[in-house]
Each structure stands twice: as structure tokens, then as C-alpha cells.
Amino acid sequence: MSAALPGGRPDRAAIIVPALNEERYIADCLLSLLEQARAVQAIVVVVDGGSSDGTVEIVRRLAAGRDDLLLLDNPRRLQSAAVNLAARQLPTEISVLIRADAHALYPPDFVATCLRALRENDATSVVVPMRTTGVGGMQRAIAAVQNSRLGNGGSAHRVGGRSGFVEHGHHAVFDRAFFLSIGGYNESFSHNEDAELDVRALRAGGRIWMCREAAITYFPRSRLWPLARQYFRHGRGRARTLRLHHIAPRPRQLAAPVILLLCLAGVLLSAIWPWAAALPLWYSLVCTGWGLAAAVRARDGWLLGMGPAVITVHLAWALGFFRGVAEVPHQAVEVGDPEPVAVL
């Protein structure tokens, strides 16, 4: 069925929440956004990629009797496609897009702070820091890794820093007209679509503001295999972005591939020179010792998992990076003109 989105004053905002099997987090995420949306007369649009768990039912239950929470179907399933779909279909009075991940919680002033930062700094987009949090078990170790420089490489949106213009960060707010003018997200990217968009945005004269005051809380994967899949895709996406736009990798982006190559070389050469086995052994011991030291300092036995988690992050990202280097990059697709919205 179809329905008209609520009308209202010009320069309205829409909060777009891509979702796929997020029953564990979606309710808290939406509850952290809906009151904020009401305060600025924004709407919240969940774009579901075909969830097979209870995500859709939870959203429908929360949306009952209200006109500021809507649900769209995303047949392409990807986050990039979800945001593009909403950007394409929202009515013309929506001039600002706010991207919110279902795997996160948002501070009470997140929406207002980001909208103010967009306006006051004459920016085309606003990005924010991420504070990763684990609620229990191995997730605590993975969160600690992602908050550390050994795990995040010193990315500006992971380590905080000061507000100001940057080249990249965790996406929060877009000027809709500018977003559409550069083609939106590249839907051939399952991961790293944010960094790829930022490259095109800067080349088109865009201005990206890091709003330190609007840091979000992100919940990471809770097991090593899903973490490995995620970081393989991140590494692949990063390599594809570099190739597509003819950008040289930064030293921190080469660290994980170099680690992987050294470990592989050590294993292969150990049959000839036994001392070569010291390379992967030394790396494993450093990571394990780092996790042990963190666990002792925090008196948290789960942080012993930081060693295996950081090894997983490095090696999976590096494998994905080499996969991306070997692939032929795709050009960005065009985002079309607005169409009537279809609501589930």
C-alpha cells in the first residue's frame, strides 16, 4: 500500500535507518530517535532489507498510531541502497537527510546538534565520532579493540578529536540536494560506501564537518567469525575506493596488509629457515600480551579476547584489501528523481 508522508514547514529532515535483522537493537535505536525527531518536526524512516527475524514486527508495533515513523522495503538489502531509496522517494520538502544505524544508540540532542552543525558551518554533510560499547562477553573485547589505535588505526571518527572540517567520518547528516547531485551512495559497495561518497563529495566542492559533540554509541559484532566477515568487506571496500578514485593508500591502511604478508612469508619460509617462523609467532605474542595487559588493568577476563579479536581485524581486513585490489572497480550509479513513497 502507499501513503503520503506528513507535510510541514520547508527544510524538514528525515532520519533514515537502514535495517536488516536488527531485532536485538532496533527498538532502543528508534526510541532514542523518535522524541528528537518530534522536537524538530522530522520523520523517521526505517528501510528494511528483508529481515527474517522480528525487526519488521517491532517497527510496525512502534509505528502504530503515529505518522512520524514509517517503514520502507529495500529489495537490494544494502545500506547504500537503503539511503539512496529514501533520498529518491521522500517528498521535496525534505531537504536534510540524517543517516542513523540500527546498531547504535543516539544521545538526546543528537539530531538538533547535527542539524545546527550543518547550518552554522555551511557544510554539505556532518559526520560524528563513534564510541563502541560491548554489553557482555566477547563483545566487550571486540569493542575495546575497535576503540583502540591498534584496532582502528587512528581514524578520526574513532578517536574523537576536535570538531572541524575533515575528509571522512561516520556519516550522520546530508544536505539532500547535494547528496543527490553527486549520485548518492555507490550501490556496488556493500561496505566503505561512506568513504567512497566522501571522496566524490570533496571533489565536487563539498564540506564535511566533524561534530565531536554528537558522538554515538555503537554495538559491535559479538563473535569472531561475523567480525572477520565484516572486516573482510571493509578492507575490500577500502581497496576498491582507492582504485576507483586513483588514490594512494595511507601508511595506516598498509599496516594490516604488511602484517599479513610478513606472517605468510614467515610460515612459508620456515620450511627453509626455521627462524622465519618467529615473524607470525612474534605478532601473535604481541597481540596476546596486549590483551592480557588490558584484562589485568581492567580486571575483566573477557578482555583476554582482545588478542584474538585484533588479529581477526588485521588479517580479515588485509585479505579483503587484497581481494579489492584484484577486482575491477564499478562507477557510481545515478540516483534518480523523487518518486512517490511506498510504505510497508
Domain range list for the chain? 12-221, 240-326
The sign one gets for the Cα dihedral 280, 318, 228, 216 is positive
Q: Name the helix (H) or strand (E) containing 104.
A: strand 104-105
Pairwise pLDDT comparison (344 vs 144), residue with the higher score: 144
> Is pLDDT at 340 greater than 50 in this prediction?
no
In whole angstroms, what is the distance from residue 324 CA to residue 330 CA? 11
Q: What is the pLDDT of residues 61-75, one digit of tens each?
A: 999 988 889 999 999
| CATH 3.40.50.10420, applies to 12-221 | no
pLDDT of residue 152: 73
Q: What is the pLDDT of residues 263-281, one digit of tens each?
A: 999 999 998 999 999 999 9
Instruction: Give me the percent of the chain exceeding a pLDDT of 70.
Output: 90
Residues β-bridged to residue 208: 125, 166
2-11, 33-42, 93-102, 265-274: range with lowest mean pLDDT: 2-11
Q: What is the pLDDT of residues 200-237, one digit of tens each?
A: 999 999 999 999 999 988 888 999 999 999 999 999 99
Side-chain-side CA neighbours of 12 within 13 Å: the count stands at 21
C-alpha cell at 42: 522530522
pLDDT of residue 157: 54
Instruction: Give me the percent of the chain exceeding a pLDDT of 90.
Output: 68
> Is pLDDT at 46 greater than 60 in this prediction?
yes
C-alpha cell at 340: 512517490
In whole angstroms, what is the distance from residue 148 CA to residue 257 CA? 19
Q: What is the pTM of this model?
A: 0.84
Q: How far is CA 187 from CA 8, 40, 196, 233, in A?
A: 31, 30, 11, 14
Residue 5's SS3 state is coil
Q: How far is CA 157 from CA 69, 128, 188, 216, in A?
A: 28, 6, 24, 10
C-alpha cell at 279: 615473524
pLDDT of residue 8: 37
Q: Are 35 and 117 in contact (CB under 8 A)?
A: no
